[in-house]
């Protein structure tokens, strides 16, 4: 899910480092977000089951990212 906005409006929430207890895979860069790392949770309003965890930088730069070759 490179562009969660394709499903309509999204809700975002910053996860504080002390709240991040699991490892997640960032859909922006396909790299792990280690436990204990602050990050963004993105939830499409119309499709909450498509919730994803993003690095802050990946979420901020999603609109300028080039498509993979």
Give 14-51 pLDDT, tens digit per residue.
Answer: 999 999 999 999 999 999 999 999 999 999 998 899 99
* 38 found inside a domain: yes
User: Is 10 contained in some domain?
Assistant: yes
pLDDT of residue 8: 80
By CB atoms closer than 10 A (0-12, 13-18, 19+), residue 39 is buried
59 pLDDT more than 80? yes
Of 25, 19, 18, 21, the C-alpha closest to 55 is 25
Residue 69's pLDDT band, with cuts at 50, 70 and 90, is very low
Q: Domain range spanning residue 15? A: 4-60
Instruction: Give dist(CA 21, CA 14) in Å, integer.
Output: 14
Per the structure, how many domains does the chain have?
A: 1
Stronger pLDDT, 59 or 3, i.e. the higher one: 59
Q: How far is residue 30's CA from residue 7's CA, in Å, rounded to a whole number?
A: 20
Assess if residue 44 is contained within a domain: yes
Domain-located, residue 48: yes
Rg, Å, the chain Cα set: 12
Q: What is the pLDDT of residue 64?
A: 77
């Amino acid at each position: 899910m490179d562009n969660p906005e394709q499903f309509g409006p999204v809700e975002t929430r910053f996860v504080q480092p002390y709240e991040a207890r699991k490892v997640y895979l960032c859909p922006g860069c396909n790299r792990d977000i280690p436990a204990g790392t602050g990050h963004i949770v993105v939830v499409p309003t119309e499709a909450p089951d498509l919730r994803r965890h993003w690095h802050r930088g990946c979420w901020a730069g999603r609109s300028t990212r080039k498509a993979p070759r």
